[in-house]
Structure 1
C-alpha cells in the first residue's frame, strides 16, 4: 500500500473545503470525479446524489466501505468572511467542519478502495451517501433501489471508545459491533376546556398528559448484548406544552419523548394509550445496528489490530492499546444497512465529542491508521461465521 500522508491530507482538505450542509451536489461531484480519474471502477451517481463505485462487480460476495458527504451546518468560526469552509492544521490535527464527521474518513476509504488488491471472489464497493445527517435519506433510497452488500464497514467514529480515562482518546481505533437507534415520539392528550373556576365542568388535558408521563417515567429502558458487549438504551420526556390561558382548563397537551433504542428491543410506549384521551405517534425511528456475523466483526478487528501494530512497529502479539469490540451511542447509516440484511460494523477516526462541534477536528495519524484498516479488510479473508 502506498502510504502517502500528504495524499490523504490533501484529499481530506479538498473534500472538507466544499460546503455540503445545504446542498451536497458539489461534494458528490468531487467524489465522483476523483473515482473516475483515479480508478477503473464502475461509478454510478444515482438520482438522489449518492456516489457508488464497484470493483469486481460480478464476484460472489461484496464488501462495502461506506460514508457520507453531507455535514451539519458549520459554526461561524468554521467559515471565512465569504462563507467558505475553513480548514487548518495544528498539532497533528485537521480542524474544520466535516474533518471528523466524516470527510477525513471518506478520503481514507477512497484511497483504500483504489489501492487494495481485491480477491477474485469479492466485489469491493465504495459508497458515499447524501442525507445521513437528515435521517439517512440517501442510504434508504439506495437500499430501496437494491443496494445491499453482504458486508459493510461504515466509517463513522469509533476511535477512543475503549480508551482508559487517563489516555488520549485517539490512542485506539476500535470496532463498533452495535449502536443505538433513536425513536422520537409525541403523546397528545386531549380533554374538554372549561373556566378554571369550574374544574368539574371540563377534562384537564394536562392532567391526562401527566398521567402518561408517569407511565413513561416508569418504563424500563431497553437493553441487550451483542457479542458480549452490553448496550443499554434510554427513554426520557423532553418537552411538554399545553394550555392557552391561566383561567382556562386546557383541552390539549403535547409531550415529546426521546427513546434510544437497542437491537431487538423497544420500550412499550403504547401503554400510554391506556390513559383516556391520550394518543401516541412515532415521529421518527432511526434503527439501531447489531453486527450479524461474528466472523466479519473479528476480521475487521484483526485488520484494526494489524494497523495498530504497524503504527507501533510491532510485528505480532498484543500490546497495550490494542483495539477492541465496542458499542456506540449514536445512530448511523449502518442501522439502515443492517435492517436490510447487511452485516455491518462501524470503524472510523472520529473520537467521542468531535462530531457536530464548533471545534471539530481529526487526528492525521488516526486518518492514516484508518486508511490501513480499510485497505486491510478489503484484502482480508472474511469468515462466513454467524
Structure 2
C-alpha cells in the first residue's frame, strides 16, 4: 500500500511545469486502482473523485502543476527527487504535490460516517458526507483549473485546500489558515502630448501625469479585515514604471504597474486616479479567502491539535491560493498543508516527511469525524 512519502516521491518525479498531463494521468490511474470512487477527468485536466453520499460534502483540494524548476532540480531532463535529513527535496515537494499525496491517501483510507460540519442533526439521523478529492491544473497561472471546475458546477460544502500552513504560529507547527490575501494587479496609463524637450511648454509630459497618479496611490492605506479575531492586512504599492522614447522628447505615454494585496470585502479605491488623461486597467484579480464557518475551522483545528505535539492556531496567510476562487463561489474553506514559509518556488524546495504524515492524519481526522 502506498505511503504518503512514496506517493509524494512518485508525483514529484513527474515534470508538470509546462504540461500537467502526465501528472494528471498518474493521479487518475492511482485513484482508479486504489479506490472504487467515481472519477472524472475534465477537458482542462482536472482530476476529481467522489466517495459516499450525504447532505454535505467535504473536498480535499490541491493542484498538480508546478512552477519551472531550477537548473539544480533537473538532471538529464528529469526532475531530481532526493531524501535527506528527514525531508524530501525537489520541485513541487512543498508546492504542492506532498499535500496532494496526503489527500490521495486520505481519500483512499477514510471512512466517512459523519458530517464535516458541526451542525445539529435530527434525532435518529445518520449524518454522512460525500468525500471529494480534487487536484486542479493551472493554479500557478491564476487558478485556471479551479475556475473551470467551478464554472462546471464544482461546489462542495466545505474544502480543505492543502497549500502551506506549517510554521506560521511557531516553527514546525501545522496551523489552520482561515483567511488569505488576494492579489489585484493593475496598469495605470497616463497620456500626454509629445514635444521637444527644449520646449516643454509645447506638450504635456505623461510622466508628470503618471506621477500624480503615483502620489495618489502613496496616500492610500492598504485594506484590512478581521476573520474570527485574526487581522489580515492588505497593501498597495507601485512596482514598475515605463515611459519615454528619447532623452530629448517629452513622453506622450507613461504606464505604472500597481500590486495590491487584497483582503475579503475590501479594495483600495484605485478609481481615484482615473481622469480624462489617465486610464486604470485591472490585469489580474486573484480573490482573497475568508472562512465563513467558525465551527468548521474549529473542527479542522481540533484534528490538527490531535495530530501533533505542538499547539496549532488559526492563522492568516499572505499568499493567494485556489481557496480564494472556491470561497468566492460560496465554498467554506480553510487552508492546511505541509509547506512552510519560504519553501515554495525556490531552488531548495523541500518538505518534511513527518509533516506529510501529520497532514494525512489531519485530513483523515476531519474526513472520518475523528475516527482514524
Q: Would you call these one fold, judging by a TM-score over 0.5? A: yes
Deviation at 1:121, TM superposition (A): 2.0
Structure 1 unaligned segments of length 5 or more: list them.
Answer: 164-168, 313-320, 382-386
**SS across alignment from 2:36:** coil
2:120: which partner in 1?
none
Looking at structure 2, the residues matched to 284 and 55 of structure 1 have their Cα atoms a distance apart, in angstroms, of 35
Looking at structure 2, the residues matched to 178 and 67 of structure 1 have their Cα atoms a distance apart, in angstroms, of 17
**SS across alignment from 2:177:** strand
1:44: which partner in 2?
40
**SS across alignment from 1:260:** strand
Q: Check whether the contact 1:77–1:358 (CA below 8 A) recurs between aligned residues.
A: yes
Corresponding residue to 2:24 among 25, 28, 31: 28
Deviation at 1:157, TM superposition (A): 0.0
Looking at structure 2, the residues matched to 11 and 249 of structure 1 have their Cα atoms a distance apart, in angstroms, of 60
1:135: which partner in 2?
142
Looking at structure 1, the residues matched to 55 and 332 of structure 2 have their Cα atoms a distance apart, in angstroms, of 15
1:114 equivalenced with 2:108 (yes/no): yes
Task: Give deviations 1:252-281, integer Å, cap 9, x for gaps.
Answer: 00100000000000000000014x411000
**SS across alignment from 1:302:** helix
Write the mapping of 1:55-74 to structure 2, written as runs, cut at 5 A.
55-56=51-52, 58-74=53-69
1:179: which partner in 2?
180
Looking at structure 2, the residues matched to 9 and 122 of structure 1 have their Cα atoms a distance apart, in angstroms, of 27
Looking at structure 2, the residues matched to 129 and 7 of structure 1 have their Cα atoms a distance apart, in angstroms, of 22
Task: Give deviations 1:110-133, integer Å, cap 9, x for gaps.
Answer: 001111111262000000000000
1:261: which partner in 2?
262
1:246: which partner in 2?
247
2:224: which partner in 1?
223
1:342 equivalenced with 2:331 (yes/no): yes
Deviation at 1:52, TM superposition (A): 0.1
Looking at structure 2, the residues matched to 349 and 290 of structure 1 have their Cα atoms a distance apart, in angstroms, of 20
Looking at structure 2, the residues matched to 118 and 23 of structure 1 have their Cα atoms a distance apart, in angstroms, of 34
Q: TM-score, normalised by structure 1?
A: 0.91
1:194 equivalenced with 2:195 (yes/no): yes
Write the mapping of 1:142-153 to structure 2, written as runs, cut at 5 A.
142-153=149-160
2:87: which partner in 1?
93
Q: Check whether the contact 1:299–1:380 (CA below 8 A) recurs between aligned residues.
A: no
Structure 2 unaligned segments of length 5 or more: list them.
Answer: 114-126
Looking at structure 2, the residues matched to 179 and 380 of structure 1 have their Cα atoms a distance apart, in angstroms, of 26
2:7: which partner in 1?
11
Looking at structure 1, the residues matched to 367 and 58 of structure 2 have their Cα atoms a distance apart, in angstroms, of 7
**SS across alignment from 2:54:** coil
Looking at structure 1, the residues matched to 20 and 182 of structure 2 have their Cα atoms a distance apart, in angstroms, of 24
Runs of 4 or more above 2 Å deviation: none
Q: TM-score, normalised by structure 2?
A: 0.95
2:319: which partner in 1?
330
Greater alpha carbon shift after TM alignment, 249-258 vs 111-120: 111-120
